Chains A and B, each alone.
Chain A
Amino acid sequence: MAVASKAAPRKRATKPAATKLVGAKKPPAKKLLTKKSAPKRKAAAKEVSGGAMGSGPVSLLVSTMKGAFTLKSNATRSKWTLSGPTMLGQVINHLAHDPRTRKVRVMGAKTGHLGPTIYYTKDGGKTWKEASKPPAFPKKEGGKAVDANFFVTPGHKSQPNVWWAGTIPVGLFKSTDGGDTWEPVDSVNNHPDLANEAFGAPAPGGPYTHSVLIDPRDADHMYFGISCGGVLETTDGGKSWNHINKGSVSLFLPTPDAEFGQDPHCMVMSPSNPDVLWQQNHCGIYRMDRKDANWVRVGDNMPKAIGDIGFPVVVHPRDSETAWVFPMDGTEVWPRTSPGGKPATYMTTNGGKSWKRQDKGFPKTHGYFTVFRQAMKSDTQKNLGLYMGTTNGEVWVSTNAGGSWKCVARWLPRILAIDVVEGGR
């Protein structure tokens, strides 16, 4: 057996050989944050810079139960080439790229045996480093331990090295050095409502912290979702958080209109109007005008035979009233498969007042898959691209806003997330 020397180098390597790891270290300062009532948000201009239109090749970063893969298209998005895996065998809950720096990507990872960690790259995925201080709760009697880094997202464009991570169990963590070291956000992780069993109650697979959304107009204005727990908002950069669940129901609780405890599966902010939020909830599809602070169940306008249960929701990059969902069967024992075995997206162009079925290209029968909350995204091109990764390891692409779908990869492991990189990177 080989015996390693005590002076082993800090450089790390992992398999497969194509994935390179190198070490790093640097602890940031820690802030103690306290909860107080969130002030009213100031009014903001309706349209922001969400109207940017991309073109050319697209790369899809595909996070799976057994590693990360990349699908690259040609200029017309008609041909796709699969590469990878990176971190074969690791559960990649979420791999996200940084549009601010082009080359930085961060992924939350773990294995069936080992604890959770974060990997990051600063060269577009050629080499990866493991975070020298991954998200971890403070050590204390009865304290929590991070089980998974479920959601990662780059921070506001004015904070170029900031990243956020949402964990299982409920926890929010912040990196100020591009993903190398992570500090707990105490105002969330010590939130007094966590003592209430309805806040952060274990959903199947654990209480997920997800959908960390940052207002492009104001770095201090953020939202995130907890399954189960509801939606929280801060307007002071995370010093305090308010529940913002009015209108959304929690049919699995004795008080369906509780202040918190709802189960948002996925929440997105309109890129063209950040005051419009969309939410695919365990109990329906919702839309909110932030000034009304009220979730409206626009899923009531879905066909009754389909229902309005699902995981993902996508909003058009240039139209806050156009959105897509991928319904799943939430009847009786909750199969969580395509209703009737007939997969389809549903599109609205009027803020959820009506929905149109889109099933061209999908199996007409016996298609029993679904799409997880982080596995459906769009690009920004004129002929809008939509992308979905399924629970049975297929990647589906539409380059006409859902009008027709084509399977461009299959036989991958269960897909947990997709991220869209435009510009041929």
Chain B
Amino acid sequence: MKVHLSTHVRHYTHGAATVEASGGTLEAVLLDLDRQFPGIKFRLIDEQDGIRKHMNIFINNDKARELKAAISPGDEVHILGALSGG
């Protein structure tokens, strides 16, 4: 599936705005991302599995609240910087 990335983390993907990753849950997708781009997951998800408060992750148009969120083939994941700080 496609994972669309905000500028904040594109230094991990060498500038790529969209990458491919696989997994049946958000956690699995993020682990696959981290396998490809080491370090990216921890910048997005803390050690207690919380989504960093100034980052938003959408599965299609739905905001993900937890890593257990299911992802189906054909879904798209959007990793976005939250509108915070004005």
From known contacts A6-B20, A21-B11, A113-B55, infer whether A139 and B47 are also in contact, taking CB-CB under 8 Å: yes
Q: Is A146 in the interface zone, CB < 8 Å from B?
A: yes
Chain A nearest CB: distance from B4 CB in Å? Answer: 8
B18 A1 Cβ-Cβ under 8 A: yes
- Complex-state Cα separation, A139 to B42, whole angstroms: 13
Q: Which residue of B lies closest to A144 (CB)?
A: B48
- Complex-state Cα separation, A8 to B48, whole angstroms: 27
* Cβ contact of B8, chosen from A114, A132, A146, cutoff 8 A: A114
Q: Which residue of B lies closest to A140 (CB)?
A: B48
B42 A136 Cβ-Cβ under 8 A: yes
B37 A112 Cβ-Cβ under 8 A: no
* Cβ contact of A3, chosen from B6, B16, B55, B81, cutoff 8 A: B16
Residues of A within 8 Å of B37, CB to CB, are 8, 12
A12 B11 Cβ-Cβ under 8 A: yes
B50 A145 Cβ-Cβ under 8 A: yes
Residues of A within 8 Å of B46, CB to CB, are 115, 136, 145-146
Q: A118-152 toward B: CB 8 Å interface, digit per residue (1/0)?
A: 00000000000010101011111001111000000
- Complex-state Cα separation, A4 to B42, whole angstroms: 20
Interface residues of B in 35-86 (CB under 8 A from A): 36-39, 42-50, 52, 54-55, 81-82, 84-85
Q: Is B13 in the interface zone, CB < 8 Å from A?
A: yes
A139 B19 Cβ-Cβ under 8 A: no
Chain B nearest CB: distance from A47 CB in Å? Answer: 44
| Interface residues on chain B, number (Cβ under 8 Å) | 35
From known contacts A145-B47, A146-B47, infer whether A3 and B20 are also in contact, taking CB-CB under 8 Å: yes
A137 B47 Cβ-Cβ under 8 A: yes
Which of B8, B15, B43 has the most chain A CB atoms inside 10 A of its CB?
Answer: B43
B contact set with A: CB distance below 8 Å: 2, 4, 6, 8-9, 11-20, 36-39, 42-50, 52, 54-55, 81-82, 84-85
Residues of B within 8 Å of A304, CB to CB, are none
The tally of CB-CB contacts under 8 A between chains A and B is 93
Residues of B within 8 Å of A132, CB to CB, are 38-39
A3 B18 Cβ-Cβ under 8 A: yes
CB-defined A-B contacts under 8 Å, sample of 25: A3-B16, A3-B18, A4-B20, A6-B20, A8-B14, A8-B19, A9-B14, A12-B12, A113-B52, A113-B54, A113-B55, A113-B81, A113-B82, A114-B43, A114-B55, A115-B43, A115-B44, A115-B45, A115-B46, A117-B43, A130-B39, A132-B39, A134-B42, A139-B48, A140-B48
A115 B42 Cβ-Cβ under 8 A: yes
- Complex-state Cα separation, A14 to B44, whole angstroms: 17
Q: Which residue of A lies closest to B37 (CB)?
A: A8
For chain A, what secondary structure do more than half of its interface residues adopt (helix, strand, loop), or is it mixed?
loop
A113 B8 Cβ-Cβ under 8 A: yes
Q: Is A46 in the interface zone, CB < 8 Å from B?
A: no
Q: Which residue of A lies closest to B41 (CB)?
A: A115
A4 B8 Cβ-Cβ under 8 A: no
Closest 9 A/B residue pairs (Cβ) = A145-B46, A4-B16, A136-B47, A14-B11, A4-B19, A114-B43, A113-B54, A1-B18, A113-B81
Residues of A within 8 Å of B48, CB to CB, are 137, 139-140, 143-145
Residues of B within 8 Å of A3, CB to CB, are 2, 16, 18-20
Q: Is A404 in the interface zone, CB < 8 Å from B?
A: no
Q: Which residue of B lies closest to A135 (CB)?
A: B47
Q: A1-B18, A132-B39, A139-B48 are in contact. List 12 more A-B contacts (CB 8 A).
A: A2-B16, A2-B18, A3-B2, A3-B18, A6-B36, A8-B14, A8-B36, A12-B12, A113-B81, A137-B47, A145-B48, A145-B50
- Complex-state Cα separation, A130 to B43, whole angstroms: 11
